[in-house]
Amino acid sequence: MLSTTALVGYTNAGKSTLFNALTDSEIYAADQLFATLDTTLRRMNVPGEHPVLLSDTVGFIRDLPPDLVAAFQATLEETREASLLLHVIDAQAEDIDDKRDEVLAVLDRIGAGEQPVLEVYNKIDLDPTQAPRVDYGEQGEPVAVWVSARTGAGLDLLRAAVAARLDEAKSVHSVELAPTDGRLRARLYKMGAVIAEAITEAGGWRLDVNLGAGRWGQLLAEHPHLAAQVEGFLDEPAETG
Ligand SMILES: Nc1nc2c(ncn2[C@@H]2O[C@H](COP(=O)(O)OP(=O)(O)OP(=O)(O)O)[C@@H](O)[C@H]2O)c(=O)[nH]1
Ligand SMILES: [Mg+2]
């Protein structure tokens, strides 16, 4: 199953450089405002079962110029739909807190304020006192990773942190679809969410789907008949003997 993640952050933080380093692609990176004018999507390998999709987005900034609003529209969609946002921060910027807050304010404004965020402090190669590391939150989850997109330092930690955060965000749910739910079934397959399927006596399907809380909630809202027959979480503790 492919989860989507999006690089967000202030312009010039190093999103495109990081995108190239994580995906072996060649996206234009330049030391100028708004080098990235469009959203791009590529596959990124992380430890564990599945690669994830990573999108590079237009840089956030206070008072976005009008001609960038259209490009920003695509960014907005990628950002709202991503399972995890990677907030790239230039660790050497002087007004680092202001820029960070500005990005959070923009995320809020575009309706992505509740998305899970992993902070990526970039450009540590410019400060000899900084080394790659991971900061953990109260539940032991990675909340920030210190890296250099230019030298590649810390990118292995970043991939592992992304995998850990994506794992934690998902749960397996069991749903029963009626024979008339074929389109919904196709959509779940397209999302890469289906991990098991059985035919029901009624001629429909019983599916085990692996979805993040946001996607799952959205699905239940769109298909109230599923909500009525939800059986709760399937992941039972492994047998111990
Ligand atoms: N020293 C150093 N420079 C970096 C690093 N990552 C990016 N840069 C430089 O920072 C500048 C901006 O990088 P980009 O990757 O274009 O930044 P961006 O966030 O994509 O910028 P926009 O697309 O304009 O929002 C370029 O000159 C990069 O070479 C890093 O890890 N270390
Ligand atoms: Mg860019």
Residue 114 has pLDDT above 60, yes or no: yes
Whether 221 and 157 share a structural domain: no
> Domain boundary at 118, 141, 168, which?
168
The CATH number assigned to the domain holding 213 equals: 3.30.70
Nearest Cα neighbor of 136 from 113, 160, 155 is 160
Instruction: Give domain status of residue 215, yes or no.
Output: yes
Whether 164 and 203 share a structural domain: no
Whether 46 and 150 share a structural domain: yes
155 CA → ligand 1 middle, Å: 15
User: Does the beta carbon of 12 lie inside 6 Å of ligand 1?
Assistant: yes
Mutational test site, ligand 1, from 12, 72, 75, 130, max ligand atoms within 8 Å of CB = 12
Whether 212 and 110 share a structural domain: no
Does this model's pTM top 0.75? My answer is: no
Instruction: Give domain status of residue 28, yes or no.
Output: yes
In ligand 1, the atom with minimum distance to the C-alpha of 33 is 24
pLDDT tens track for 17-62: 999 999 866 655 555 555 555 567 888 888 875 778 888 887 877 6
DSSP string, 84-141: EEEEEEETT-TTHHHHHHHHHHHHHHTT-TTS-EEEEEE-GGG-TT---EEEE-TTS-
The percent of the chain in helix, strand and coil, each rounded to the nearest 5, is 35, 25, 40
User: Does the beta carbon of 130 lie inside 6 Å of ligand 1?
Assistant: no
Smallest-distance ligand from the CA of 31: 1
- Answer yes or no: are the C-beta atoms of 112 and 104 closer than 8 Å: no
- Higher-confidence residue of 209 and 231: namely 209
Whether 161 and 178 share a structural domain: no
Nearest Cα neighbor of 87 from 160, 189, 176, 162 is 162
With 0-12 CB in 10 A as exposed, 13-18 as middle and 19+ as buried, what is 71?
middle
Whether 95 and 111 share a structural domain: yes
Instruction: Give domain status of residue 238, yes or no.
Output: no
Q: Kindly report the protein residue whose alpha carbon is nearest to atom 23 of ligand 1.
A: 36
Q: Kindly report the protein residue whose alpha carbon is nearest to atom 11 of ligand 1.
A: 31
Dihedral sign (CA 5, 10, 11, 13): negative
Whether 185 and 162 share a structural domain: no
Instruction: Give domain status of residue 239, yes or no.
Output: no
In ligand 1, the atom with minimum distance to the C-alpha of 60 is 25
pLDDT tens track for 54-99: 888 878 776 666 666 666 776 777 788 888 999 999 999 999 999 9
Instruction: Give domain status of residue 17, yes or no.
Output: yes
- Tell me the average pLDDT across 213-224: 76
13 CA → ligand 1 middle, Å: 5
Whether 93 and 175 share a structural domain: no
- Answer yes or no: are the C-beta atoms of 135 and 91 closer than 8 Å: no
Whether 143 and 175 share a structural domain: no
- The model's confidence at residue 231, banded by pLDDT at 50, 70 and 90, is very low
66 CA → ligand 2 middle, Å: 18
Helices and strands (H and E) in the chain: how many: 7, 10
In ligand 1, the atom with minimum distance to the C-alpha of 149 is 31
Instruction: Give domain status of residue 234, yes or no.
Output: no
35 CA → ligand 1 middle, Å: 9
The CATH number assigned to the domain holding 73 equals: 3.40.50.300
- The model's confidence at residue 198, banded by pLDDT at 50, 70 and 90, is very high
Q: Could you tell me which residues are beta bridge partners of residue 207?
A: 175, 197
Give Cα 120 to chain centroid, integer Å.
13
pLDDT tens track for 143-193: 999 999 999 999 999 999 999 898 776 778 889 999 999 999 998 898 778
> Domain boundary at 141, 168, 195, which?
168
Whether 10 and 125 share a structural domain: yes
> Domain boundary at 128, 145, 168, which?
168
User: Does the beta carbon of 59 lie inside 6 Å of ligand 1?
Assistant: yes
Instruction: Give domain status of residue 241, yes or no.
Output: no
Instruction: Give domain status of residue 213, yes or no.
Output: yes
Smallest-distance ligand from the CA of 13: 1
Whether 19 and 107 share a structural domain: yes
Whether 30 and 52 share a structural domain: yes
User: Does the beta carbon of 30 lie inside 6 Å of ligand 1?
Assistant: yes
Q: What is the total count of domains within the chain?
A: 2
User: What is the domain extent for residue 101?
Assistant: 4-168
